[in-house]
Amino acid sequence: MKKLLLIATGGTIASRHTDTGLSPQIPVSELLAYVPEAKSFCEADCVQPFSLDSTNVHSEHWLKLSMLIEENYEKYDGFVICHGTDTMAYTAAALSYLIRNSRKPVVITGSQRPIDLSITDARSNLLDSLRFASDDRAHDVVIVFGGLAIAGTRAKKERTRSYNAFSSINFPPIAVLHDERVVFYIDDKEKVKGDAVFAHSMNPKVFLYKLIPGSDGSILELIADKYDAVIIESFGVGGIPQYGDDRFHTAVRKWIESGRLVVMSTQVTFEGSDMSAYQVGHVMKNTYRLPESYDMTPEAAIAKSMWILGQTKDKEQFEKLFYTPVNHDLLFEP
């Protein structure tokens, strides 16, 4: 029987109604009491490092979760984190970089409705997560939600209310959970060699700039003293616009010359970027050697940039690490 650590962080799954809306109220020990069936296949200890709506979760909390798991790594066979859905994909991506090469599963779950309601997805998601974390084939960071196990770098919340809130983007689900069974599509634990690698720093000074038609590149000048990197979500496969002048190009050049980093991405959810396809992207990519996210999710690109900048601001080192696959985050080989 596997020994697991259940880590509660708040979120809808642990919320109750208040006069001002849902708020995390349910303690971690009570969460576990809602899934007594789990006792048949695992033993679980409980801990609650914080209790927050996931809107309020950021890099400091990701580091706290990573350090908590590192401190307890040898004591348990796996870890299950209860988390709010709104920023769950960011947390899953961040933990994928903070906890690499893990033969033990780190499972993140939550729900669209609180666990104490008569009709809710919370109990099935929590039970599925404990079951997945107890499977010998499970490893690395995954989100378990709505009957799917999704690689931590590939998850995206695509629905605000439906129980199937998360999709796996540009990559198949790791497994499906159905009728007390875990059916793996990606069964590759044998590829994990050596010890888990924990990182201890992140640089949160990463800005996401989503372009709209007519965007003015001068915004880069306004934020330059607050950020070390910008991820530009462009249109289609990616490119920097020229509206009869070179203001955007000049802003990018000045940003790079100041020692900051620019990463190109796309607003399109599926199939990824390819700046070389069109002149608006090709010229910029080759002039400034701009790294691009290709088939990565925005959440993964942001978290990976924060993780890398926690180690180095060197452009070549950044690019090397950015293009090194972690937990299935990148299929394209530049």
Q: What is the pLDDT of residues 1-55, one digit of tens each?
A: 999 999 999 999 999 988 898 999 999 989 999 999 999 999 999 999 999 999 9
Residues 169 and 42 in one domain: yes
Residues 230 and 192 in one domain: no
Please, is 179 exposed, middle or buried when counting C-beta atoms within 10 Å of its C-beta (0-12, 13-18, 19+)?
A: exposed
- For range 181-186, the mean pLDDT: 97
Which residues, at least 6 apart from 13, have a Cβ–Cβ distance to it below 8 Å?
A: 26, 31, 82, 83, 84, 109, 110, 111, 114, 115, 122, 125, 126
Residue 329 domain flag: no
**Which residue among 198, 230, 262 closes a domain?**
198
CATH of the domain at 243: 3.40.50.40
CB neighbourhood size of 4 (10 A): 25
Residues 22 and 154 in one domain: yes
Percent of the chain predicted with pLDDT > 70: 100
Residues 140 and 240 in one domain: no
Res 19: pLDDT: 87
Residue 333 domain flag: no
Q: Is 106 helix (H, G, I), strand (E, B) or coil?
A: strand
Residues 100 and 225 in one domain: no
Residues in the chain: 334
Residues 186 and 118 in one domain: yes
Catalytic machinery residues = 12
Least confident of 75-89, 223-237, 260-274, 275-289: 275-289
pLDDT range class, residue 217, cuts 50, 70, 90: confident
Residue 332 domain flag: no
Residues 316 and 176 in one domain: no
The mean pLDDT value of the chain amounts to 95
Query: How many domains, the chain?
Result: 2
Domain ranges, residue 95 = 2-198
The rounded distance, in Å, linking the Cα atoms of 124 and 111 is 9
**Which residue among 136, 171, 198 closes a domain?**
198
Residue 35 domain flag: yes
Residues 275 and 192 in one domain: no
DSSP 8-state code for residue 64: H
Query: What is the tens place of the pLDDT at every residue in 241-293?
Result: 888 778 888 889 999 999 999 999 999 999 999 998 888 888 888 888 899 99
